[in-house]
């Protein structure tokens, strides 16, 4: 059964993450949300299967249990994680494709920006010269090595999506009567359950690191059936799927709160904000009258990062 379960984050790891980063909780939540959203968007543009993108987000959060949030630029860490995850799957993507996609997503013309802030098309804002590509490629390969080292080369991720469909079949939900639109109510419940699971990947609460796939799948089925008005058995059916009532209640609240998380982040950073950077976080810290301590080890760039930054500035100036 090991392929159906994940190693869960311990209370000590979660406490260490919260205390070592020297960042207020709300800024840590912003980093987690924006980076996970960027990873999801990159997976869509790279035409990766959703399971690959989901695994990349889970591995990204696992990495942050080991290393500090400010260790690498968030977009670069996302790119390195999705490259690593795709490489070991049946759908690998080239580094050039990945760097091009991330250059676009972090540009002013990014599709992550809202239509209200939609600037005139400017391909030059996300054009990568050969020298810039080589710099970015080397940096991503360096981060990939640090990722694997931090994860102990354990890249196994069990996802709850297949379990949710299996649970719906076991509950005979797909035999539900057709809705007014002519679609099977069971099909709509299945689609809604998958939507809940995909949205949960963006949660700053790191639900995929604190709960097993069976509990996540059970909660998604419960919420989806409630949303679509499909009646489930009156008995405590969730216990059959190894999920306690208390855990079901907690996850139901957590999954249902993601809309509020998105609204809060848009209010804090502006609806047109496609992606935040370490510079944005430092700026917020200055507004709060605090500064990064030893937990912000990325404040001191190593020689390789410094050289890459100078090359980028030189290329941008040309």
The full set of domain ranges for the chain reads 26-156+277-317, 161-256
**Reported pTM:** 0.86
Upper half-sphere CA count for residue 174 (Cβ side, 13 Å)? 11
Per-residue confidence in pLDDT tens, the chain, 318 aa: 567 889 999 888 888 777 667 789 899 999 999 999 999 999 999 999 999 999 999 999 999 999 989 999 999 999 999 999 999 999 999 999 999 999 999 998 888 876 555 567 778 788 889 999 999 999 999 999 999 999 999 999 999 999 999 999 999 998 765 544 446 788 999 999 999 999 999 999 999 999 999 999 999 999 999 999 999 999 999 999 999 999 999 999 999 999 999 999 999 998 788 899 999 999 999 988 765 554 444 443 445 555 555 555 555 555
Q: What are phi and psi for residue 76, nearest 5 degrees?
A: -70, -40
Of 130, 192, 199, the closest CA to residue 165 belongs to 192
pLDDT attached to residue 288: 84
Average pLDDT, the chain: 87
* CA of residue 271 relative to chain centroid, distance: 19
Domain 161-256: state its class.
Answer: mainly alpha
Left if phi > 0, otherwise alpha if psi is -120 to 50, otherwise beta: which for 297? alpha
* CB-CB neighbours of 77 under 10 Å: 25
pLDDT attached to residue 181: 46
Given this chain, do its domains 26-156+277-317 and 161-256 carry the same CATH topology? yes
pLDDT attached to residue 301: 44
Domain 26-156+277-317 in CATH 1.10.472.10? The answer is yes
CA of 85: how far to CAs of 117, 182, 191, 206, 226, in Å? 32, 39, 25, 18, 34
Which two structure tokens, joined as six digits, stand for 187? 């099909």
């Amino acid at each position: 059964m090991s392929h159906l379960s994940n190693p869960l984050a311990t209370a000590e790891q979660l406490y260490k993450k919260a205390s070592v980063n020297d960042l207020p909780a709300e800024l840590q939540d912003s980093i987690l949300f924006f980076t996970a959203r960027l990873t999801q968007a990159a997976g869509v543009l790279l035409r990766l299967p959703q399971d690959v993108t989901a695994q990349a987000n889970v591995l990204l959060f696992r990495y942050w249990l080991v290393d500090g949030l400010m260790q690498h630029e968030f977009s670069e860490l996302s790119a390195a994680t999705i490259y690593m995850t795709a490489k070991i799957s049946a759908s690998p993507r080239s580094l050039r494709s990945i760097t091009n996609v991330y250059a676009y997503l972090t540009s002013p013309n990014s599709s992550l920006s809202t239509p209200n802030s939609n600037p005139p098309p400017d391909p030059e804002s996300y054009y990568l010269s050969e020298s810039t590509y080589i710099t970015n490629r080397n940096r991503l390969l360096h981060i990939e090595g640090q990722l694997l080292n931090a994860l102990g080369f354990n890249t196994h991720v069990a996802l709850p999506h297949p379990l949710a469909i299996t649970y719906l079949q076991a509950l005979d939900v797909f035999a539900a009567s057709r809705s007014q639109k002519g679609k099977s109510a069971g099909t709509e419940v299945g689609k809604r359950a998958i939507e809940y699971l995909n949205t949960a990947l963006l949660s700053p609460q790191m639900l995929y690191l604190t709960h097993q796939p069976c509990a996540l799948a059970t909660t998604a089925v419960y919420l989806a059936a409630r949303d679509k008005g499909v009646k489930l058995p009156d008995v405590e059916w969730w216990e059959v799927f190894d999920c306690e009532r208390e855990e079901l209640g907690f996850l139901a609240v957590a999954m249902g709160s993601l809309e509020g998380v998105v609204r809060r982040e848009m209010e804090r950073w502006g609806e047109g904000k496609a992606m935040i950077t370490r510079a944005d976080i430092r700026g917020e810290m200055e507004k709060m009258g605090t500064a990064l301590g030893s937990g912000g080890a990325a404040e001191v760039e190593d020689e390789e990062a410094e050289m890459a930054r100078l090359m980028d500035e030189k290329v941008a100036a040309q």
